Amino acid sequence: MPYPEELKKLIKIVEGTRAERVARKKAGEEVPFLSLEQRKERLKHHPDFQEEGRRPLKVGASKGYAIAHEFADLLEARSRIDPNKVDLSRWDLETDVLVIGGGGAGSSAALLAQEHGAKVLLATKLRHGDANTMMAEGGIQAATKGDKDSPYYHYLDVMGGGHFTNVPELVERLVTDAPDVIRWLKALGCNFTQIEDGRLATLHGGGTSRKRMHYAADITGAEIMRTLRDEVRNRRADITVLEFSPAVELLLNEHGACAGAVLYNLETETYQLCKAKAVVMATGGSGRLHVRGFMTTNHYGATGDGVILGYRAGVPVSFLHTVQYHPTGVAFQEQAEGILITEKFRGAGANLVNVDGQQFVNEREPRDIEAASIILECTEKRKGVPTPSGKTGVWLDSPMIDMLEGEGTVKREFPGKHILFKRFEIDIAKEPMLIYPTLHYQNGGLEFKASGETKIPGFFVAGEVGGGIHGANRLMGNSLLDIVVFGRVAGASAGSFVKSKPRDGKLSLEHVSRYHAELEAAGVGMDRVAPMVLPDYTPADVKKKQWTAHYEGTLR
């Protein structure tokens, strides 16, 4: 539905200040960026900094580390399988490299492992490409323009965005591999947006000092994902894809090396053992855990499974206490609630504006600062805009973009969102959008090295499931980059590892038994089951009537 009358009135106020804000922008007079001191103050309004939302882990390699309850609940939970009842002397599938997760990181890893001579099996939860990668809109960072940018500035920006907590070796790899990733993707046939002379178009994003956000209209992630997926399909002689087959446990062998995984066929409800010489974990993020009850931008399968599996096998977690709230999720239209409005709108000049039509933060601050500022505006300062469903939000003033860059820019550069709102009879080239922060990205995850290795031989990590690259806060455009950089790295490392003829040995689920014993000793979690695999959206009244149904966690 279009904006109701009350909101239309409030939009008039925004329109009243727009010309002046556009003039300021044109003159380069921006609302100043916060100093590092001011940032620290502002972040106190960020959900990450509210202690009541988290608790220390009672078991495992990172015991004592405090993370969100929703995540802790899953780490402190038993396996879906009883390790004593599994016959480990035979297996259903065998491969050199098992890649778990068919998003951007997993697909890149599969391609590189294959190029290193390995036979690859890629097991994924939903369809190949049903992944957060598919959903990324805004862009991918890389310092490709040597006349004004370099890995040096990219490095500084990444560190500043992550509040200088990032792991330097990972950041180095990220920024120095970045241009080659763009080259590789283009050579595989990705259509990045180009300007007249053939140079790739680049924009600013929050926290960038140079315009280095490459994009493919407003479906950058989809363009990357579908290109990688198509290439994986071309190599089906060496790469087998198994869909609707999430991994629910890792297999180790008697020498303590990773040796495959237990896969669960969601449709037939049967389990399969897959034996492998190396495993790449690339299961992505965890928005569907709805930390602190927030909405999420993430795909249906983003339930943090890889972190659970890796942690049980003994890999510590880091930076998992920080969660990224994307500052701009749809707050009105209720049926689109939580859906992401790309940061590119702000990169292109749209202000964030409160109920009085006033700008309250520079729109190019890092994401956590933007999110904290919006929450502050809507809570303590009481300058939020009330939505018809009783929530609050602030305006993202998209019509400014046409005034700055010329009529038709919004429609041309943001076709996806333009269509989405057009369905609600709202023209975002003429009317602003109402937004509020939404759960977006898992900043932390399994600990890993710049080679993709973890502390378990034969076990590699790539993508959103890993932690450390982005420190406590990721900048826009660095995740699409990270998944391809480290997907390629992990794939190549796994491929080489296989070639080095690792020691074969009896399969084992000892680590699961040990973990169960630890849970029992700590007196937690044996009544919960993880990984979650799919979120639970079945209404309680329906469940009550499913008299004979048995639920293992969220699955029937």
Partner 1 sequence: MSQAPESLTAKLIPIYIMGKRYEVPETLTIMKAIEHAGYKFIRGCGCRGGICGACGTVYRRPGDYRIHVGLACQTVVEPEMVLTQIPFYPANRASYDYATMEAVGAAVGALYPELFRCVACNACTKVCPMDVEVMDYIAAVKRGDLAEAMRLSFDCIQCGLCASRCMGELPQYHIAQLVRRLYGGKLAPATDHVDAMVKKIADGYYQQKIDELKKMSVDELKKLYTAREQEPHQAPELWKAKSAEGL
Ligand X SMILES: Cc1cc2nc3c(=O)[nH]c(=O)nc-3n(C[C@H](O)[C@H](O)[C@H](O)COP(=O)(O)OP(=O)(O)OC[C@H]3O[C@@H](n4cnc5c(N)ncnc54)[C@H](O)[C@@H]3O)c2cc1C
Question: Residues with catalytic annotation?
Answer: 326, 346
Q: How far is the CB of 398 from partner 1 (least distance, A)?
A: 16
- Take residue 419 and report the two structure tokens written for it: 């269509």
Q: How far, in Å, CA of 490 to CA of 450, rounded?
A: 9
CA contacts within 13 A on the Cβ side of 191: 6
Give yes or no for a contact between 129 and 222, defined as CB atoms under 8 angstroms apart.
Answer: no
- Spell out the residues 6+ positions from residue 140 whose beta carbon is closer than 8 angstroms to its own: 181, 182, 213, 214, 215, 220, 224, 477, 480, 481, 484
Q: Is residue 132 part of the contact set for ligand X (CB under 6 A)?
A: yes
Closer to ligand X at the Cβ: 3 or 319?
A: 319
Q: How far, in Å, CA of 182 to CA of 485, rounded?
A: 10
Give yes or no for a contact between 316 and 67, defined as CB atoms under 8 angstroms apart.
Answer: no
Q: Is residue 452 part of the contact set for ligand X (CB under 6 A)?
A: no
Q: Is residue 126 part of the contact set for ligand X (CB under 6 A)?
A: yes
Q: Could you tell which of partner 1, ligand X, none binds residue 114, using a CB distance below 5 to 8 A set by kind?
A: none
Q: Is residue 471 part of the contact set for ligand X (CB under 6 A)?
A: no
Q: Could you tell which of partner 1, ligand X, none binds residue 480, using a CB distance below 5 to 8 A set by kind?
A: ligand X
Backbone φ and ψ of 30, nearest 5°: -95, 155
Strand-pair category, 54-56 with 392-396: unpaired
Q: How far, in Å, CA of 76 to CA of 321, rounded?
A: 15
Residue in this structure with the two tokens 């990733």, named with its chain if needed = 181
Among the listed residues 283, 328, 323, 291, the one whose alpha carbon sits nearest the alpha carbon of residue 307: 283
Give yes or no for a contact between 300 and 119, defined as CB atoms under 8 angstroms apart.
Answer: no
Strand-pair category, 93-100 with 202-203: unpaired
Residues between 251 and 290 with contacts to ligand X, criterion CB under 6 A: 282-285
Strand-pair category, 270-281 with 93-100: parallel
Q: How far is the CB of 135 from ligand X (least distance, A)?
A: 4
Residues between 339 and 378 with contacts to ligand X, criterion CB under 6 A: 340, 342
Residues between 34 and 93 with contacts to ligand X, criterion CB under 6 A: none
Residues between 421 and 450 with contacts to ligand X, criterion CB under 6 A: 441
Q: Can you tell me which of 426, 480, 485, 490 binds ligand X, judged by CB under 6 A?
A: 480
Q: Is residue 531 part of the contact set for ligand X (CB under 6 A)?
A: yes
Q: Can you tell me which of 53, 60, 83, 104 binds ligand X, judged by CB under 6 A?
A: 104
Q: Is residue 223 part of the contact set for ligand X (CB under 6 A)?
A: no
Q: How far is the CB of 148 from partner 1 (least distance, A)?
A: 6
Q: How far is the CB of 482 from ligand X (least distance, A)?
A: 7
Q: Could you tell which of ligand X, partner 1, none binds residue 88, using a CB distance below 5 to 8 A set by kind?
A: none
Residues between 284 and 343 with contacts to ligand X, criterion CB under 6 A: 284-285, 297-298, 301-302, 305, 340, 342
Contact range with ligand X by CB under 6 A, out of 100-108, 330-338, 359-367, 517-525: 100-108
**What length is written for the chain?**
556
Give yes or no for a contact between 414 and 422, defined as CB atoms under 8 angstroms apart.
Answer: no
Closer to partner 1 at the Cβ: 292 or 455?
A: 292
The residues that touch ligand X, with contacts defined as CB under 6 A, are: 100-106, 123-126, 130-133, 135-140, 220-221, 246-247, 282-285, 297-298, 301-302, 305, 340, 342, 441, 463-464, 476-480, 483, 531
